[in-house]
Amino acid sequence: MTFTYPLFDTPLIGIYFIVLAFMFGAILASFITCTAWRVVRGEDWKLGHSHCDTCGHELSTADLFPIVSYIALKGKCRYCGSKVPPRDLIFEILLGLLFAGTLALHGSIDAAVVAALALEMLLLGLSLADWDSGVIPDGFLAAILVVWILTAGFRTDVQKFAIEGVIVFLCTGILMAIGTFIAGSIKKAKLSYGPAKLSMCLMLFLGFRGAVIAAVAGILLGIFFTLVCKSKKRKISLAPAISLAFIFAFLLKDALVLLGARIPF
Ligand SMILES: [Zn+2]
């Protein structure tokens, strides 16, 4: 099932959808950063209005417009005037740009791009949760599997997608579990299997070639993030590295297709 819109044939329609994707990304970023924050603090992520972290005042709808509210209120709480960290604003702009870029590269609205946007949102949430708490919450991984189940059936290449995905899923699981076990034995510490589980879930969405690209990018980014965490003397968080590697592999595939390269992975 594909809804193809003439992104490159009719620039105005293309721009309309890309702007819409940016706004959608910004709105979902404020939702997911709030969710991640609540999960990390053990609060119920579903219920309750957002509130100011300093004064506890409940935020009104007018305070919750992504990007616009932050700029209008000059980065301060409307009620107590305390400074709101720019982190949320940065992630709203980031996810907005990522959504817009993903749609622009993909050029049509189908199951693959819907899955990509949903994953980008979930990856932002679980990366923030991992960075703040050192744990990748299982709830986010379950949500990734739900995205796979809901979107796989709508793909035109469902059979190839499912078979390759499951093979890569199993291989990644075995390799990463062995790697985690060996690294844990050398360090004489019990390492989390969170990064292994996350990699497995994401590999479901990539074919063989995409998986190789994601694995290489993941190893390089993993080393980079390990060095950054060590230099900051903080617990090593690998979720951001794994997330970026996956998004890179996904976008590269679309970029190559766009450029006319015959790499149908
Ligand atoms: Zn306040």
> Tens digits of per-residue pLDDT, 210-235?
899 999 999 999 999 999 999 998 88
Q: How far is the CA of 122 from the centre of ligand 1 (A)?
A: 27
What is the pLDDT averaged over residues 167-181?
A: 92
Q: How far apart are CA 8 and CA 6, in angstroms?
A: 6
Q: How far is the CA of 37 from the centre of ligand 1 (A)?
A: 17
Q: How far is the CA of 72 from the centre of ligand 1 (A)?
A: 15
- Domain assignment present for 265: no
Q: How far apart are CA 242 and CA 222, in angstroms?
A: 7
Number of residues in the chain: 265
Segment among 187-191, 218-222, 233-237, 240-244 with least mean pLDDT:
187-191
What pLDDT, on a 0 to 100 scale, did the predictor assign at position 51?
Answer: 79
Q: How far is the CA of 77 from the centre of ligand 1 (A)?
A: 5
Token pair listed for 48:
């309750």
- Domain assignment present for 264: no
Segment among 9-13, 23-27, 178-182 with least mean pLDDT:
9-13
Q: How far is the CA of 58 from the centre of ligand 1 (A)?
A: 9
- Domain assignment present for 23: yes
- Domain assignment present for 50: yes
Q: How far is the CA of 181 from the centre of ligand 1 (A)?
A: 46
pLDDT tens, 24-62? 999 999 889 888 888 888 877 766 677 787 888 888 877
Q: Is 193 helix (H, G, I), strand (E, B) or coil?
A: coil
| Cα 21 versus chain centre, distance | 15
Global confidence as pTM: 0.89
Q: How far is the CA of 63 from the centre of ligand 1 (A)?
A: 11
Q: What is the DSSP letter of 82?
A: P
Q: How far is the CA of 112 from the centre of ligand 1 (A)?
A: 41
Q: How far is the CA of 54 from the centre of ligand 1 (A)?
A: 5
Q: How far is the CA of 60 from the centre of ligand 1 (A)?
A: 12
What pLDDT, on a 0 to 100 scale, did the predictor assign at position 69?
Answer: 85
- Total number of domains constituting the chain: 1
Q: How far is the CA of 76 from the centre of ligand 1 (A)?
A: 8
What is the pLDDT averaged over residues 237-257?
A: 90
Chain position carrying tokens 């329609």 = 13
- Domain assignment present for 210: yes
Q: Is 48 helix (H, G, I), strand (E, B) or coil?
A: coil
- Domain assignment present for 263: no
Domain that holds residue 206: 2-258
Q: How far is the CA of 200 from the centre of ligand 1 (A)?
A: 41
What pLDDT, on a 0 to 100 scale, did the predictor assign at position 265?
Answer: 45
Query: Is 251 exposed, middle or buried (CB count within 10 Å of its CB: 0-12, 13-18, 19+)?
Result: middle
Q: How far is the CA of 78 from the centre of ligand 1 (A)?
A: 7
Which residues, in sequence order, are CB contacts of 127 under 8 Å at separation 6+? 237, 239, 240, 243
Q: How far apart are CA 20 and CA 14, in angstroms?
A: 10
Which one, of 240, 228, 229, lies nearest residue 202 by Cα? 240
What is the pLDDT averaged over residues 134-148?
A: 95
- Domain assignment present for 253: yes
- Domain assignment present for 88: yes
